[in-house]
Structure 1
Amino acid sequence: MFQRIPRAPLILGLTGLIPFLWGALTVLLPDLGLWTVRAIGPRFAGPYVMLFYGAVILSFMSGVLWGFASKATGTLAATGYALSVIPALWAFFMTGGGPVSAGMNLIFGFAGLLALDWQFARWGLAPDWWMPLRLLLSAVAISCLGIGVFL
């Protein structure tokens, strides 16, 4: 599966998981969370780093989907553009209200994004290695967000 994913997107995608992984670690290891709060600030510990970064990534992924839509024409392009803004709007409207509800909404947002990824791939607008990469990255992001919400 990973052999089909080009090296640069795989490495950059995995590197992009660091804030999620760090947030989950600081939830699982409270002493690391306390050190983080003291050393670099509370925004970079626990669920807060995952919530902020998750909203940023959903917005970034809207841009990626917009780029895929630009490869289409006519009604398919218009549909792709309309769908591409959903992750950013979801992040904007659904991440308020406290860390638990924001975390749950980000989990739903990343699951929905995966469905959009699949649709764009189905339309032939994403590269053939896109879904294996997105499945891996989404699984890790959703798992980390789950740690922040449920533990």
Structure 2
Amino acid sequence: MTGGIPRAPLLLALAGLLPFLWGLLTLVSDPVYAFAYETLGGRFVGPYVQLAYGTVILAFMSGVLWGFATRAPERQAPVCYALSVIPALWAFFMAGGGPVSAGMNLVFGYLGLLALDWQFWRWRLAPDWWMRLRLPMTLAVVACLLAGTLL
């Protein structure tokens, strides 16, 4: 374990950063962009890979929160379930449009997700190590999305 974070979630979370970093790399390197565009196609370059993957992961994180909601006391559970679907709904309704608005809306979605992560952790529904994983992951994702959106 690294800093109390179990190895498997840490490694999988770090691997989950790769599409965000790849999208950023294709934006700052013309040769990498050209290689990726020619071999993988336009969907896997620049902000497109970041936006598509960012939308999927934001929805996935709703499922994680739903799992935490299953641990809530019966009278608190309805609130937890309702909160858990917010990131998926946000991704569905707000990640469309052009790349700038979609990117900024994903940034706001991930920041909102961090607030929900903290709340579920504070309610002791998430593991003790949860925020030690989620805070740096969120900062990395937001930095990549901001750079991809603003470049």
- Structure 1-normalised TM-score? 0.97
Once residues 9 and 96 of structure 1 are traced to their aligned partners in structure 2, the CA distance between those partners, rounded to angstroms, is 29
Structure 2, unpaired ranges of 5+: none
1:121 is displaced (CA, Å) by 0.3
CA contact (8 A) 1:27 1:147 kept: no
Residues 117-147 of structure 1 show CA distances to partners (whole Å, capped at 9, x for unaligned) of: 0000000000010001001111111111011
Once residues 94 and 116 of structure 1 are traced to their aligned partners in structure 2, the CA distance between those partners, rounded to angstroms, is 18
Q: Supply the RMSD in Å over aligned alpha carbons.
A: 1.1
Partner of 1:67: 67
Partner of 2:12: 12
Identity %: 63
Residues 24-78 of structure 1 show CA distances to partners (whole Å, capped at 9, x for unaligned) of: 1111112211211111101100000000000000110000000000001223111
Give the partner amino acid of 1:121: W
Q: Which runs of 4+ in 1 moved over 2 A?
A: none
SS of the residue 1:3 aligns to: coil
Residues 67-94 of structure 1 show CA distances to partners (whole Å, capped at 9, x for unaligned) of: 0000012231111100000000000000
Partner of 2:77: 77
1:97 is displaced (CA, Å) by 0.9
Structure 1, unpaired ranges of 5+: none
Once residues 144 and 11 of structure 2 are traced to their aligned partners in structure 1, the CA distance between those partners, rounded to angstroms, is 19
Aligned length, in residue pairs: 151
Partner of 1:104: 104
Partner of 2:121: 121
Once residues 14 and 71 of structure 1 are traced to their aligned partners in structure 2, the CA distance between those partners, rounded to angstroms, is 26
Give the partner amino acid of 1:84: S
SS of the residue 2:128 aligns to: coil
Partner of 2:38: 38
- Structure 2-normalised TM-score? 0.97
Once residues 55 and 76 of structure 1 are traced to their aligned partners in structure 2, the CA distance between those partners, rounded to angstroms, is 28
CA contact (8 A) 1:103 1:146 kept: yes
